[in-house]
Structure 1
């Protein structure tokens, strides 16, 4: 199978252009040569056959071939909204969520969030997470790269309009995650320690319904991935 490379849109059959730096390094590490085949995707759906046209010291040119309307997205559209976990756990979470076919990821700053980001540092981290999502799609065959939104304060954040809203909870009225509606779902999960009582109340006021994964207490990075897996696999 030819290597898969993510390139910014738009891609067009017959175009010849230099790959972006990350994709070019990938080709060089694989020691591909002119004439070798690669698969290109721009993250918006579908993929293109292509060939390496030129290998330079630091640049790699490709020639774009035929388009293939291949979509490997799950049948159920799930958007994750997450209280950002600490350390590198968010990196792992973004990677696994992209592999599973999440539609988008919304990092949230909550009362109990350990990781605090703002300004240029928050922008750099967002770009880092977005690159992780693209790399995960290169590996797993996904042709739609999930958007990793800018970090938002939970107190001001508004969920996707028209979606079914669910939040992971141990509240007494929480019902099982499945069965779930076929409509797009926004799944909200807290950071280490969960959402605060005030945040739980705000989630409910926004229309989020509490759901549970069972009696076990899962880590902040494990719970949303477990829930996402259940939702997308149940719809396949």
Structure 2
């Protein structure tokens, strides 16, 4: 039976009566129209889950009784850090949502020369907050109990220069081999996905200088949001927990 999963940003005390936050109240009471006595599952990002029962529904508050918390690890053995150049419209939201479902651990939105998104600093900061909520919702849906981090937006060259502990991968149609030919000795993977117009020659040279390995997904040209999800899936099938 499907169990409603709710993320709470503060530590959840087992065997206690706790008041859920406003987001949980709106979702449980106003959207799902759940009633007193019904069961939900809570998680707080600590890789545990806590069964709970709705005990009180007031006009603006919701109280639940929690049971014992249990560890429930659904994380991949791969630590994938996705560097995604900003894409337009809902494409970025789609990429974040689906990459979280596929097991990415962190995402850094990037600015490149051919990035088609032009927003001021305040709007970019609000976008990051919005994307973090999308990551949270994706975890509620897919069963992950650790929320991936959406990092502040960075310039492409700054991000590429600070990945010393990662195996660095990027997609390019001129690459000689694909993911199946990789010899993976490092579970920390930084995956760079460029913009819809591709990286410039100067940016490609820069990634090579920072020891990025170029890989090929296949004979077809994929859209930026398709590339990210295809590459993550291939990595998880070959080295992670999909199969």
Bin of the TM-score, shorter chain as denominator length: over 0.9
Partner SS for 1:101? coil
Greater Cα shift, 27-36 or 175-184: 175-184
CA RMSD of aligned residues (A): 1.6
Q: Relative to 1, partners in 2 of residues 1:141 and 1:210: Cα closer, same or farther, differing over 3 Å?
A: same
> What is the Cα deviation at residue 179 of structure 1?
4.2
Q: 1:48 to 1:160 in 2, by over 3 A?
A: farther
Is the 1:159–1:186 Cα contact (8 Å) retained in structure 2? no
Quick one: which of 77, 80, 83 aligns to 1:78? 80
Q: Return the alpha-carbon distance in structure 1 between the equivalents of residues 90 and 109 of structure 2.
A: 14
Match of 1:163 among 154, 163, 166: 166
Question: Where does residue 27 of structure 2 map in the other structure?
Answer: 26
Unaligned runs of 5+ in 1: none
Mapped partners of 1:27, 1:151: distance in 2 = 32
Structure 1 segment 8-47 matched on structure 2, within 5 A: 8-28=9-29, 29-47=31-49
3-state SS, counterpart of residue 67 of structure 2: strand
1:65 to partner: Cα distance: 1.8
Deviations 1:101-157 (A, max 9, x none): 111111001111001233211111001001011101111111111111111111322
1:9 and 1:207 map into 2 onto residues whose CA distance is 40
- Give the aligned partner of residue 228 of structure 1: 232
Classify the secondary structure of the residue corresponding to 1:191.
Answer: coil
Which residue in 2 is equivalent to 1:213? 217
Classify the secondary structure of the residue corresponding to 2:136. Answer: helix
**Which residue is 1:102 aligned to?**
104
3-state SS of the aligned residue for 2:24?
Answer: helix
C-alpha change, 1:221 and 1:159, in structure 2 (3 Å) is farther
TM-score (norm 2): 0.91
- Using the alignment, how far apart are the partners of 1:16 and 1:168 within structure 2? 50
* Whole-Å separation in 2 of the counterparts to 1:219 and 1:59: 44
Q: Distance in 2 between matches of 1:162 and 1:78?
A: 12
Q: Secondary structure at the match of 1:137?
A: helix
Moved over 4 A (4+): none
CA–CA distance in structure 1, aligned partners of residues 189 and 13 of structure 2: 33
Moved more, 54-63 or 101-110: 54-63
Q: Post-superposition shift, 1:5?
A: 0.3
TM-score, normalised with respect to structure 1? 0.93
Check whether the contact 2:77–2:187 (CA below 8 A) recurs between aligned residues: no
Q: Relative to structure 1, is the Cα distance of residues 83 and 40 closer, same or farther in structure 2, using a 3 angstrom cutoff?
A: same
**Distance in structure 1 (CA, Å) of the matches to 2:168 and 2:16:** 42
Which whole-Å CA distance do the structure 2 matches of 1:11 and 1:233 have between them? 34
